[in-house]
Amino acid sequence: MQFRTEINLSKSALSIEHHNRIITFGSCFAYNISAYLSEYRFRVSANPFGVLYNPVSVYNAIEILWKNRRFVRDDLVYHQGEWHSFYHHSDFSHHNADICLKKINDRTGEVSEFIKNADIVILTYGTAFVYKHRQNGMVVSNCHKLPSAEFERNRLSVDACTKELNETADILQKINPNVKIIFTVSPVRHWKDGAEENQRSKAVLLLSVENIIKNRAENCFYFPSYELLLDDLRDYRFYERDLLHPNKQATDYIWKKFNEAYISDSCKSSMNEVEKIIRAKQHRIRNPQSEEAKKFIKSQLIKIQDLRNKYPFLELNNDYEYFENLLKE
């Protein structure tokens, strides 16, 4: 008997390899995908501006990286004892303006170089609602708890949203003509918008992404994370306690589907070898000074070095340092 409508994905024309450089932008669901990629030692840069929810903010972030824009004090706003950037998540905020600016500019400089050579960009949109600051007229990425009266809230139309996505694809191709873009709509519900408005917002995003995929099929792809949670898993046991965010079981399932659709068969072989290192790091060593522990640690260092020689593009430095430090203890 069949108890649910499972979504079976075809193998995508885009195959992700371990040597690819990958960058993600968007909602907190973009962190989920990037976390799995990072766990398997892909070269990935995750949400360089922090969580971004709407298409305008994602475009703004990519444009800043393209121009390698440097932020100054006048770009910040002071509220509730901290300095903030309307382009960034509160992770960049700080009570010291100079530290806030350093965090922003250091990250921008680092990722401006990374994105030039990025092979794959994953864009995850959470909402079609935007908040425009009344004083300066800009769509903000985060309101930073400023009074709601300072902002004008609107939902993008399908045409306006499609325009933003097209311009985002255009600017990414200016940075790197060969870049491939994976679009996805976050399954996280924006319950503050209300049930009906959340669905309309997601519908705008889904229709806009469809428009992009139809017209730019050579370099734009779609991954149905929204549909996998809402139509395939379709049960509150796959949510966190807030009943809005997918839990670990759900994100594991969605990652499995992503893996099946986009990860190349040759890459899966190297991922299996990396997984052995991951499990070894999870092994609890009670006494690093014992001969048995030293033997185990040295064997892992040899395995990591062998993997480095076999797959020089794997991000294994932290793993090597971890076991090396255990040996020094």
Kindly list the domain boundaries of the chain, sorted by start residue: 21-263, 272-328
**Tens-digit pLDDT profile for residues 110-125:** 999 999 999 999 999 9
CATH topology for the 21-263 domain: Rossmann fold (3.40.50)
Residue 132: pLDDT over 80 = yes
Residue 329 confidence (pLDDT) above 90: no
Q: Give residue 2's pLDDT.
A: 76
| pLDDT at position 41 over 80 | yes
Residues with Cβ within 8 Å of 24's Cβ and at least 6 positions away in sequence, in order, are 30, 31, 33, 34, 44, 45, 46, 47, 121, 122, 123, 124
Order of strands, edge to edge, in the sheet holding 139-140?
139-140, 129-133, 151-155
Tell me how far apart the alpha carbons of residues 328 and 236 are, in angstroms, rounded to a whole number: 47
Instruction: Kindly report the backbone phi and psi dihedral angles of residue 226, in degrees, each rounded to the nearest multiple of 5, phi listed first.
Output: -60, -50
Compute the average pLDDT of residues 97-121.
97
The pTM of the whole model exceeds 0.85: yes
Which tens digits make up the pLDDT trace of 208-246? 999 999 999 899 999 999 999 999 999 999 999 999 999
